[in-house]
Structure 1
Amino acid sequence: MNYEDYLRRVPKAELHCHFEGTVRPATFAELADKHGIALPTREVDRLYDYDSIEGFLEIFGLVATTIIDREDFARVAYESLADGRDRGGLVYREMFFNPTLHTRRGVAYATVVDGIVDGIRLASRELGVECRLIADVYRQDNPAEAVAMVEQVLAHRPDELIGLGMDGAEAPDPPE
């Protein structure tokens, strides 16, 4: 076995991964087609082309608009965990997700979290990969939106949801 194969096979824990950033390009395109969402290109291999953090965040936001129903969330979570296992020996992940990216578009919080949990539980049963969730407060949300999101998390928190975090562009909105 060569060194690269050895490194891929070593069991891994991933402690910082964003759900919306793990969508396969082909899944991104399929979900966009399913929900009638226009993409900047039909070339699947170019969907994630960007050259700055702002460009990444723009694509990240577009990806989020294609994940709408519970099955979409479950599919993305399962595929993400399968990819981690298959490409790098993933056995445990703590995955961030941003509820407000979805709830502000009219997707119910329960649809988001229950769908992700469906995918996590299926990956645990079928693949032996464990995953826990961290709900992110989006830095660019105002404090009232952040408080409302945290209240939703506290009201509907499956065992897989273990914490709160923060995401979004730091330059315009540092943590303090």
Structure 2
Amino acid sequence: MERVRDLSELPKAHLHLHFTGSMRPGTVLELADKYGVHLPDALTDALTSGEPPKLRATDERGWFRFQRLYDAARSCLREPEDIRRLVREAAEEDLADGSGWLEIQVDPTSYAPRLGGLIPALEIILDAVETTSRETGLGMRVLVAANRMKHPLDARTLARLAVRYADRGVVGFGLSNDERRGMARDFDRAFHIAREGGLLSAPHGGELTGPASVRDCLDDLHATRIGHGVRAAEDPRLLKRLADRGVTCEVCPASNVALGVYEKPEDVPLRTLFEAGVPLALGADDPLLFGSRLAAQYEIARRTHGFTDAELAELARQSVRGSAAPRDVKERMLAGVDDWLAGPADPDGAPRGSRRPSPAR
């Protein structure tokens, strides 16, 4: 039997985690009870049973159902202390999975009505991230994301706000929600503002629609990272373009299957992307609804796609290189990956004499 190492000990960066979607199921249930929020039965059943809800977002009705569950969970976040709790627990979960760097994605407009407005909402989130990072040692930053379902002028407002807080922990600008709505070019001005302000460009693309969505992110938004990007596997020329440009795709295997992008875990083209030389960063997306966190994505790569420990280490390196972490943090985490790979392991995957990698600030 091949000797394998504990994936929760592998230093890695987490670049695709949505804010509300990072919550623990028990936290949602507690907050819903506290505020008298009636959760949809499908969500309550999933949170109490530990089984992810049955989702399929490949049609608009299915996407609407997914968004309804997500919005219900978000409605439980009402006070600054709820935000602080979410951030703290997200950090604890990431640390347990071997993450040394987390870039959490948020659209502050979704929380603004209950937190005193757009600016107060973002400041509360950034304060929580800064405090949690300092107290836990996990390197944490924020990626502000616009919503494709809203007007592009709203995205410009968010981009200006994100740039304004670049020195407070905002490192990137994204674009999320149903990519079948809103052309990428409609948001080109917002992304220009973000890039001019020194933020990385990380829109979603190539999840619910095909390779054209990824090309649009490259051509119109000058993406340095792509949220998902898996559908690029359908176009060899596009794969080469991503590889040549070093554009990191934030691949979320469990999410892709849960939302019906692919029928089975083995259908996710993880091996195709990797062997084409496309930099990858595995992410959990929305573990609240999809039921698995960061280390589990690496486990999928190992058990379903046959990634060796050396290949898993390279996946971790790619996640670190694709992050917005400072150079010294990247160097420390990359050295930790080498240590992990050099260390002994038991056949059952439990390493002997290993130590958890030091988190990065």
TM-score under structure 1 normalisation?
Answer: 0.84
> 1:10 matched to which residue of 2?
10
Cα deviation per residue 1:69-105 (whole Å; 9 max; x = unaligned)?
211111101101110111x1011011110112222x4
| Structure 2 residue ranges without an equivalent (≥5) | 58-62, 186-361
Contact 1:100 1:138 in 2 (8 A): no
Matched, 1:45 2:48: yes
Structure possessing the higher radius of gyration over alpha carbons: 2
TM-score by length of 2: 0.43
Q: How many residues align?
A: 172
Of 50-59 and 64-73, the range deviating more from structure 2: 50-59
Aligned to 2:92: 82
Question: Quick check: 1:171 aligned with 2:171?
Answer: no
Asked if the contact 1:110–1:156 (Cα under 8 Å) also holds between the matched residues in 2, the reply is no
User: C-alpha displacement at 1:125, in angstroms?
Assistant: 2.6
1:26 to 2:35 alignment: no
TM-superposition CA deviations, 1:101-151 (whole Å, max 9, x none): 222x45322442233223323332332101111111100011232233334
RMSD: 2.3
Distance, in Å, in 1 between the alignment partners of 2:176 and 2:159 is 14
CA contact (8 A) 2:25 2:48 kept: yes
Contact 1:95–1:131 (CA under 8 A) maintained in structure 2? yes
Q: Report the Cα distance in structure 2 between the residues aligned to 1:78 and 1:40, rounded to whole angstroms.
A: 26
Alignment match, 2:76: 66
Stretches of structure 1 lacking an aligned partner (at least 5 in a row): none
* 1:73/1:115 contact within 8 Å kept: yes
- The residue aligned with 2:280 is none
Q: 2:150 pairs with 141, 145, 151, which one?
A: 141
- Report the secondary structure of 2:17's partner residue: strand
Query: Taking every aligned residue pair, what percent have the same amino acid on both sides?
Result: 24
Where 1:51 maps in the other structure, the secondary structure is coil
Aligned-pair CA distance for 1:160: 0.8
In 2, Cα distance between the equivalents of 1:100 and 1:64? Answer: 12
